[in-house]
Structure 1
Amino acid sequence: MKLAVFSAQPYDQRFLEQVHKAKYSDALEILYHVFPLTTETADLARDCDAVCVFVNDVLTKDVMDKLYSHGIRAILLRCAGFNNIDLKEAEKLGFFVANVPSYSPEAVAEFAVALIQTLNRNTHRAYNRVREGNFNLDGLLGQTLFGKTVGVVGTGKIGLSLARIMKGFGCRLLGYDVYKTPDFDQYGKYVELDDLLSQSDIVSLHCPLMDITRHLINKETLSKMKPGAMLINTSRGGLLDTSAVIAALKNRTLRGVGLDVYEAEAPLFYSDHSSDIIQDDVFQRLMTFPNVLVCGHQGFFTEEALTQIAEVTLSNLHDFKNGLPCKNNLMAKKH
């Protein structure tokens, strides 16, 4: 088989090749493309059997029509989320579509905690001050996390991992999820979203991006948050109405915002724009706040997670090639 990998960074190639050489070298050829998958770049997958894509590759009807015309029948998502693919169109065309539903959930949860800790104790600002010989503590005041209330929106594997960590800090945990899991009961209690927002000192988002969750945090829900609360998002940028968050920061109702994702991140993230003039005025405004910390979607970025992503992705392709049942087949889960 022949696989075309899009949005391939050096680390993607490194970890995929490790698994490829160890298990599938005789049965698979892999082509790596740094470009994202679009209608213009889809021709790079000509003569391939499958494509492998990441979070910011958008598989619209036009893209999938072109892939189908080239004989491609499998789409491998090397991520958990699948909001970037039109599953109805994929089903109509008969594509095999598989994701990596869980890869080191602790990695993302630990990164969310890093954002919380950094924002709370201003260690990013302290680091820069000390490098310049400024040891003044004024402006670096934080809060003790022990005894604070943490609201976890989305209590899947990542949300549970965060709850477990924050419980260790001595925090009180509140959870909200349409699909409740008994596993959360050992860490905290479930409440309605409005109650979670009004009581939480820290709100951390760990839910997928779907129609019902798009702009889950908006002008209305922000108005229900506890004054001075911290907002953390390591899931998908579209969960936030960024303009509404900026307004809340301007009127000082939010104490801080930690983001590893951004609503319009696709043209920016995973590339070096340090010599460019960034044209996204909303993003640039967000970056002016001293109490906002933005990272480039790196919560998953650990050796353990990348190894697991590579293993599951190529295992999904192996199942497709051999006509085996695949537990990560999104098309099967639709029925």
Structure 2
Amino acid sequence: MSIPTGLAIAVDGGQSGLRLRVLPDGRGGSGPGYTHGDKGIAATLAAVRRAAGEAGVLGEPVEVACLGLTGYPNDPSDVRMLAADLAELLNASEIRLCVDMVTAHAGALPDGYGVVIAAGTGSVCLAVDHGGTSHRVDGHGYLFGDVGSAFWIGRAGISALLRARDGRGPDTALAGLDFDPISLYPSPTVVDDVARFTPVVLRFAAEGDFVAQGIVLDAATGLADTIAAGINSLPGVDLVPVACVGGVFQAGEQLLAPLRDRLPARADLRPAAGTPLDGAARLATGPLGPYERLVTVYRSGAGE
């Protein structure tokens, strides 16, 4: 696969928002994030169109565009359709399309080996070995997984609040908030709404609320278990690079300290080298390397 020399576009499309970067000049744009129940391809295209328009790149010839998307379609035919539509929208000769966990991994670990856990609105972990074999852990969505994510923490906090108000659970300062969680039910963005309660839980935990502290410790334990599963999927006994990305980790040592204590001996926890958008930029402008089997490549006029 040749290395692009012309204009390139990198996109990180998560649940909280979509970000676009034009390379090499660095122009940027943003669009709405992926919402569960969105109208699939149409919603993704609309978000990319908005971000590309803001960056002023619409209509310019683009050599390669790489997009890491939470809303990556499950059906291969939908993937091809989305890639073709993106190629037309962005006037791109080549589209490189993958789930956002792949671009997060590429941004966090430049060598392409190790485990990256991304915990934002949702949570997912990707382990990649030296030969490019990968293993995904969690990322099962807000109903069945995403342990330790902002949604998971926010939901646990809201549940604790309601139990305390009912007299079914231990007292917590969360119950004294002027907040009616039941009002969230009709919201079309309820997953994001619940996730936005996480900073409240973290604040009360930092102030010494026992219930909130327990939620944070449970989140750290769940994230550590996810990382351990990723490490265990990699052969050998050597240390494994581990990086954490995503908004949940903005809590800093409040979450990282108990997480670190719960990691297996092989975990070599290190700061992420870059962001998921940096990873998309890397995969848009260089060889795919260990991610080749994780990225769908579509060339305009030549099929996939």
Query: What TM-score comes out, normalization by structure 1 length?
Result: 0.29
Q: Which has the higher strand share?
A: 2
Query: What TM-score comes out, normalization by structure 2 length?
Result: 0.31
Flag the structure with larger Rg.
1
Q: Which has the higher helix share?
A: 2
